[in-house]
């Protein structure tokens, strides 16, 4: 076994040496490469970032900054995962299991980047060293970029607490959508909340387990809209008084229905709000009692249509 390992090392090392010889070092940010540039020498309380063979110094700096934020996010996520107090972190559960990997992805890609506490994270606080190389065959320039960013346990605790506060506020908002549904009697509020929740899902991404909770709540809202119906309170030759209802609850809306006559004899429609009801007036001069003088009333909310055909009482 030892012999095989030695053979493998003797095979790989020349290849690595050849790869290094393909590049010529032409510039460096300091006369001597710092000891910390060797990852194995990094001490506790700092993040070490290395970006290799990047086209420009600005791109290298940007990539290093993004990687630094990811490293901090991972540290925060691990801190939360291993904390003994899991209160307020139910969003990490799905089907009774801890979704560690998906939670980390969620932290890194979306909500974590919006933390105000991250505004103080800047490479100006870091030790930075870079080297510029020229590829011998193509003459193309590239950079190796090294960053040592100080990050203490206190820094980690502060950002973790800020993230948990942000998560709690988000949890409270999601719970509010669900808990307040039974008290909403305004279709426009239902629609506004649905649009807000859809925007939240789009913003946080499908990978965030909170998206599933929001989708479930959206379904509850849509179910209310789907089960609304038109109730006729008054019906005579001059007009109708109607209202939207869900179960026994009267539903308000700023929207007005579209109204049309089936046989065309009912005309000159006027539709306006009358408190929480809608008053529809019309002219039935050309209608006859023996005819089917139906009026179609239609509300449209997004893709949902609520339609009722009512026979005019002459």
What is the per-residue pLDDT across 78-117, written as a single tens digit (0 to 9) for each?
A: 787 776 444 444 444 444 333 444 555 555 555 666 777 7
Give the residue from 171, 188, 216 where a domain finishes: 171
Helix 210-226 to helix 153-179 angle (10° resolution) is 10
Judge whether 195 lies within some domain.
yes
**Residues counted in the chain:** 314
Greatest extent of the chain over all pairs of C-alpha atoms, in Å: 106
> From the CB of residue 38, how many other CB atoms can be counted at a distance below 10 Å?
12
**Total number of domains constituting the chain:** 3
3-state secondary structure of 116: helix
Q: Which of 81-85, 197-201, 267-271, 302-306 has the lowest mean pLDDT?
A: 81-85
> From the CB of residue 63, how many other CB atoms can be counted at a distance below 10 Å?
14
Cβ–Cβ < 8 Å for 67, 54? no
Q: Which domain holds residue 250?
A: 228-311
One domain, residues 104 and 29? yes
Residue 210: which pLDDT band, with cuts at 50, 70 and 90? confident
- Using CA atoms, how far apart are residues 288 and 291, in angstroms rounded to an integer? 6
- Whether the model clears a pTM of 0.85, i.e. scores above it, the answer is no
One domain, residues 45 and 126? yes
Structure letter (DSSP) for residue 192: H
Judge whether 81 lies within some domain.
yes
pLDDT per residue as tens digits for the range 40-58: 666 678 999 999 999 999 9
One domain, residues 148 and 90? yes
> Which position has the token pair 């909340």?
193
One domain, residues 153 and 241? no
Give the residue from 171, 194, 214 where a domain finishes: 171
One domain, residues 35 and 166? yes
- Using CA atoms, how far apart are residues 56 and 51, in angstroms rounded to an integer? 11
- Alpha-carbon distances of 236 from 57, 284, 306, rounded to whole Å: 79, 10, 22
Cβ–Cβ < 8 Å for 47, 149? yes
One domain, residues 180 and 241? no
- What's 283's domain CATH number? 2.60.40
The two three-digit tokens of residue 59, written as one number:
């791109």
> From the CB of residue 110, how many other CB atoms can be counted at a distance below 10 Å?
15
Q: Which strands, in side-by-side order, build the sheet including 141-150? A: 23-28, 127-135, 141-150, 46-54
């Amino acid at each position: 076994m030892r012999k095989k390992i030695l053979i493998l090392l003797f095979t790989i090392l020349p290849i690595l040496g050849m790869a290094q010889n393909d590049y010529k070092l032409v510039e460096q940010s300091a006369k001597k490469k710092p000891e910390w540039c060797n990852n194995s020498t990094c001490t506790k309380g700092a993040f070490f970032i290395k970006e290799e063979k990047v086209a420009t110094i600005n791109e290298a700096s940007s990539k290093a900054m993004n990687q630094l934020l990811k490293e901090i996010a991972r540290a925060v996520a691990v801190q939360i995962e291993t904390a003994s107090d899991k209160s307020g972190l139910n969003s990490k559960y799905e089907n009774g299991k801890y979704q560690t990997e998906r939670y980390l992805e969620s932290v890194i890609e979306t909500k974590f980047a919006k933390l105000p506490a991250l505004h103080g994270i800047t490479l100006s606080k870091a030790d930075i060293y870079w080297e510029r190389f020229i590829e011998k065959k193509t003459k193309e320039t590239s950079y190796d970029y090294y960053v040592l960013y100080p990050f203490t346990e206190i820094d980690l605790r502060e950002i973790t607490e800020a993230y948990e506060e942000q998560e709690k506020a988000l949890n409270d908002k999601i719970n509010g959508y669900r808990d307040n549904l039974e008290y909403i009697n305004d279709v426009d509020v239902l629609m506004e909340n649905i649009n807000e929740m859809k925007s939240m899902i789009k913003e946080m991404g499908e990978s965030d387990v909170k998206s599933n909770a929001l989708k479930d709540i959206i379904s509850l809202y849509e179910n209310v809209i789907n089960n609304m119906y038109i109730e006729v309170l008054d019906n005579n030759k001059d007009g109708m008084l109607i209202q939207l209802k869900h179960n026994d609850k009267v539903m308000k809306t700023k929207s007005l229905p579209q109204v049309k006559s089936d046989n065309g004899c009912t005309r000159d429609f006027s539709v306006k709000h009358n408190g929480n009801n809608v008053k529809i007036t019309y002219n039935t001069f050309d209608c006859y009692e023996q005819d089917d003088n139906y009026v179609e009333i239609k509300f449209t909310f997004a893709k949902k249509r609520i339609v009722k055909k009512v026979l005019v009482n002459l």
